[in-house]
Structure formats: structure tokens, C-alpha cells
Amino acid sequence: MTPFRSATATALVSTLLATTLVGCQFGGDEQDTSPIVIAADLELSGAAAGVGKAYRQALELKVEQLNASGALNGRKVDLLLKDNRSDASESLRNIVDFSNDKRVTAIIMGGCNECAVGAVRTVNEKQIPTIALAAAGAVVNPVAERRYMFKLAPNADDNAAALTVELRRRNIERVGLLRSDDAYGQEGAKALRREFGKVGIQVLAEASVRGTDTELDGPAGRLVSADPDAVVIWTPPEQAMLASSAVKRLSYTGALFLDAAAAGDLFLGSAARSAERATLVFTQTMVIDDVIATTPAKAARRQWFQAYTAQFGGYHGSSSFAADAIQLIADAELRAGGPVGEVDRDRLRDVLETSQMDGLSGPIRMTPDNHSGLMPQALTTLVARNGRWRLAS
């Protein structure tokens, strides 16, 4: 080898070695600092705007917290929001737009059952992971036909079982049922009757209300006239408070029991008097200020409760589901890995399907056979006392 070639070869080896050493020093692979883009289709106007506003506040607060924490390895979450106006057709248009946006990692849908069920086919065809905050079981069942759909909300079967235990404990044998006239309301009525049948509780009367109904004296009157020991209200939050006021105006003195879907604001406001002593099945986070933070998970829930309350002047029960959805997607994106700057929705779906965490809402477990992550252990019993919800003693 000539002196020139020898010198060149030596220089080349030195350069390669230096490059290798620098690569090792700084971790080798290029760090991915691309944004994690999460889209949200919410009910920001229309009949369900109250819950939609709470979801928006929760999503924005959680994104702000995550981006400030430095926990995403140099990445940030970008949130894209669209208003579906509490309309399933508008929601579907939003889902199509989000699906066609190659930047979007995953979608979060609000609490509209009709919207989420109506989007199932498109979500699967577009192969985009979607977490719905709607309660209806049809959002994720059958799982084989809903591979890209996930759900974070209390399940009808779990709610019905918890309500039945409490009714039985109170020696209540006859009830009236007011439910929403949608998939979740129908699912709830079926689950309640199944659980009631096991312990001998009789449904004396049942009435349903549409999502846009605000005059509930008629349905309430049909239930009260049956003279039940208790009235079970299985509707969204605003209607639950209207229903409790309606039955009280009819001089009903029996007990009131509310399904988890009825959980709304911590403070009951104008409905405080009519809802006094009502029982609600919901997650502990709603009243975490009544709980001693004995575990890291409980401490995190209390911090979330305090941060939300400080920023928005009150607390909404369902806010934790939205925050947990953001966390699940962000964690799954980091675990999924893949080429820098590229969105791999299939890989993300696979990771979401096996996600586990002690979330702000409670324990969450996703499996290939169960895409509804909230565990029944997350539910507890709350009672309305002095104008707000409290942990039942």
C-alpha cells in the first residue's frame, strides 16, 4: 500500500470510529421529536354540550400537563378539536376528516353513544385507533368487528350490578326506571332487569326520554304513580338533574338512584335540594377530596382533581375519562416506536389493545377480548349531601 493510500485509509477509519463513538455517546438513533397528534370529536354545542365542554377542558389540561412534564422523551402532544354539534352525521364527517389526515395518530370521541356506534365502520375501514368516551357496549362489541374501537366509560353491566347491590342493601324491592331512549338506555334496562331478577327486585314502571327532552314531568309522573320504593335514573347528567327535580315536584319521597352516566358536576347547584340524599354509582375520583391518598394512584387522582378545580372553578366527574384517553394514546405511541416522524396506526392499535394502567378514573385494562378498559373495581357509591356529591360512609 502506498503512503498516500495508507494515510487515506487511516483517516477514513478514524473518521468512521469517531462517528461511531459520537453515535454511541448520544444514543445512536436519531431522537424522535415529532408531535403526537391526537384528534378529538366532541359535543361542543347542541344537547350534550355540557359534558362536551368538560371533556374539552380535561383534554386541554392533560395535554398541557404532559407537555410540561418532559415525560414524552422530547415529544409534545398536539390536540386537534372539532365540534360535532351533538349530531351523529356531523361526527362522522369529522371522523373521516381526521382519518384522512396522515399526521393524526388516534382519535378521541366524546360521550355521544349514537356518534360512536355510527363511526364504527369508518374507524375500522380507515384503520385509525379511536377511544370513545361513550358508555354504550355496542361501541366496542363484538370486538372482532371493532378492532380499532376502544372505550373509556363505565359499563352498563358493572353499573347495574353495583346499583343492585346498593338497592338490595337498602331492602328496596320495587323500583321505577327512567332511562335514555338510546342504545345505552336500552342496554341498561336489560342489564338492570337481569340483575334485579337475581335478587327479586321488581320494575313497576319504565319510561324513556330522548336526548333533547327537557320537560320530564310526564315520564316522572308515570313512575311516581306506580308507587315504587325507589326511582332509578339512567340518563345523561343534565336530564338526571331535571328528572330528580320532576319527581320531587310530584311529592315523591322515595329514594333516588343514579347510574354512572348521570354523573356531572361535583356541585349540584339548582338541583341540590331535589337530589339531596340521592345515590350515585361512579368512580372515586369524583370525591377524591374525601379520600386519604394512601397510594401513588390516589395521590395522582387528587392532584388531577385539584388542578382541574383550580383552573375551571369546579369539577366534572367525567373529566378523568378524557384525561386517561390522552395518557393511554401518548403512552402507546411511545411504546409502539417505529420510524422517526412516521405515524404507524396499526402498531399503535396493537399496543393499545394490551394497555394497563392505574388511571385517573381507576384501574384500566385493555385486552384483545375486551376493548372497554374501565374495571368494575373503579366504581364506588356516592351520596348527594349538602349540595355536592360525597363518598358514601
In a domain, 20, yes or no: no
Element at 77 (helix H, strand E):
strand 77-83
Query: Do 209 and 259 fall into the same domain?
Result: yes
| Greater pLDDT, 16 or 339 | 339
For the segment 42-55, what is each residue's pLDDT rounded down to a tens digit?
999 998 999 999 99
Residue 211 lies in domain: 156-289+379-391
Query: Do 277 and 302 fall into the same domain?
Result: no
Kindly report the backbone phi and psi dihedral angles of residue 81, in degrees, each rounded to the nearest multiple of 5, phi listed first. Answer: -115, 140
In a domain, 15, yes or no: no
Per-residue confidence (pLDDT) for residue 251, from 0 to 100: 94
Query: Do 203 and 217 fall into the same domain?
Result: yes
Tell me which residue of 109, 105, 79, 78 sits closest to 94, measured CA to CA: 109
Residue 341: CB atoms within 10 Å: 10
- Stretch 274-301: mean pLDDT, rounded? 96
Residue 342 has pLDDT above 90, yes or no: no
Query: Do 313 and 173 fall into the same domain?
Result: no
Query: Do 175 and 141 fall into the same domain?
Result: no
In a domain, 9, yes or no: no
Between the CA of residue 96 and those of 101, 127, 128, what are the distances in Å?
A: 9, 11, 10
Query: Do 236 and 383 fall into the same domain?
Result: yes
In a domain, 28, yes or no: no
**CA gap 107, 217 in Å, rounded:** 38
Q: How confident is the model at residue 12 (pLDDT cuts 50, 70, 90)?
A: very low
In a domain, 4, yes or no: no
For the segment 251-262, what is each residue's pLDDT rounded down to a tens digit?
999 999 999 999
Query: Do 273 and 198 fall into the same domain?
Result: yes
Q: How confident is the model at residue 31 (pLDDT cuts 50, 70, 90)?
A: confident
Query: Do 269 and 168 fall into the same domain?
Result: yes
Per-residue confidence (pLDDT) for residue 29, from 0 to 100: 59
Q: Domain of 232: which CATH number?
A: 3.40.50.2300
Q: Which of the given ranges, 27-31, 69-73, 170-174, 182-186, has the highest pLDDT on average?
A: 170-174
In a domain, 312, yes or no: yes
Query: Do 259 and 214 fall into the same domain?
Result: yes
For the segment 116-166, what is each residue's pLDDT rounded down to a tens digit?
999 999 999 999 999 999 999 999 999 999 999 999 999 999 999 999 999
Least confident of 58-67, 208-217, 272-281: 208-217
- Stretch 342-347: mean pLDDT, rounded? 90
Per-residue confidence (pLDDT) for residue 393, from 0 to 100: 74
Q: What is the CA angle 336-155-351, rounded to 5?
A: 5
Mean pLDDT of the chain: 91
**CA gap 321, 211 in Å, rounded:** 21
Residue 6 has pLDDT above 50, yes or no: no
- Cell numbers at 233, concatenated: 335514573
**CA gap 4, 369 in Å, rounded:** 67
For the segment 80-106, what is each residue's pLDDT rounded down to a tens digit?
999 999 999 999 999 999 999 999 999
Per-residue confidence (pLDDT) for residue 1, from 0 to 100: 43
Question: Do strands 388-391 and 379-385 pair parallel, antiparallel, or not at all (unpaired)?
Answer: antiparallel
**CA gap 348, 135 in Å, rounded:** 23
Structural domain tally of the chain? 2
Q: For residue 139, what are the contacts with CB-CB under 8 A and spacing of at least 6?
A: 113, 116, 117, 120, 132, 146, 149, 151, 372
Query: Do 222 and 324 fall into the same domain?
Result: no
Query: Do 239 and 316 fall into the same domain?
Result: no
Q: How confident is the model at residue 343 (pLDDT cuts 50, 70, 90)?
A: confident
In a domain, 271, yes or no: yes
Residue 91: CB atoms within 10 Å: 25
Query: Do 268 and 301 fall into the same domain?
Result: no
In a domain, 217, yes or no: yes
